[in-house]
Amino acid sequence: MIWTPYTAIMFILSLFAIALTVYAVPKAWRIWRRAEKASLEERYELEKAFYLASTVVWLIIISRIVGMGLYWVANESLIPLVPGAMCQWGIHQAGHPFSWIDSIVKLIVIFVYGIWLSLDMVNRRCKGAPLMGTLSKYFVFLMPLLIVDAGLDLAFYLKVEPVTVPCCRVVFTAENPLPCPFCFVFHDAPMFIAVIVGYGMAIATMIWGSVVKKYASEPGDLGEVSMKALRLLANLSLFFAIIGTIALIPAIFQIMVPAAVH
């Protein structure tokens, strides 16, 4: 492993997430199994246990979301330390095969994690924690993805060593019509990061809203709070789409400027 401040933080965040996940899963499992058939007195105790478990889950998921952004920064910091690497393509080669799987997982986890966070925000604003059992069950099923996400970070950075790796130009030659995606996004046209994040978050909030919509027709607090959350997510989706569209203009301009030689 090559230690940099960023890889060290990624390592700590991954161990932190795994430890808290192992701590929270038994509690979530117990709440899920008992929520529907609990007496009023027992349900009150389950609610208290759930709010503690929910806080732990928020810490886990937020640490993974922070890790998603830091992941790309950490990879950039490794480029000067791996011989032959001119961009993150070389870093991914050094961490093969964990690096490629990790990057794919990073692109999808925000969609999954956001569903839990959105539903928990609705649940916290309702009396009696009506989604307590659903959220506990969802976290139990979410647990493997959390472990895989954090475990792949550990495996990737433990695998990376200062060994000579092939440059991306070996694959993306002058005759190849496709540019190296890492050079293109992180070096030639970095405004596309804002475009990708903007449109990605617009799609994510739409997906989260489609899940929250399921509860909008429920009576009482749950339906009312779900409708408010649905409107908020719709506005956020529009906001992120506008951000992505605005960023697209300077991003296209960056493409037109001759790219620096890497």
156-209 residue pLDDT tens: 999 998 888 888 888 877 677 778 888 888 888 889 999 999 999 999 999 999
Has residue 260 got a pLDDT over 70?
A: no
Per-residue confidence (pLDDT) for residue 106, from 0 to 100: 86
Q: Compute the mean pLDDT over every residue in the chain, rounded to the nearest whole number.
A: 88
What is the residue extent of each domain of the chain?
5-168, 189-256
**Which residues, 6+ apart, have CB-to-CB distance to 62 below 8 Å?**
none
Has residue 15 got a pLDDT over 70?
A: yes
Per-residue confidence (pLDDT) for residue 258, from 0 to 100: 52
- Cα distances from 250 to residues 73, 195, 244, 246, 258, in angstroms, run 22, 10, 11, 8, 14
* pTM (predicted TM-score): 0.84
Buried b (16+ CB within 10 A) or exposed e, 144-178: eebbebbbbbbbbbeebeeeebebbeeebeeeeee
Per-residue confidence (pLDDT) for residue 262, from 0 to 100: 43
Per-residue confidence (pLDDT) for residue 244, from 0 to 100: 94
Per-residue confidence (pLDDT) for residue 259, from 0 to 100: 46
Quick: pLDDT tens for 83-133: 988 888 999 999 889 999 999 998 888 888 889 999 999 998 988 888 998
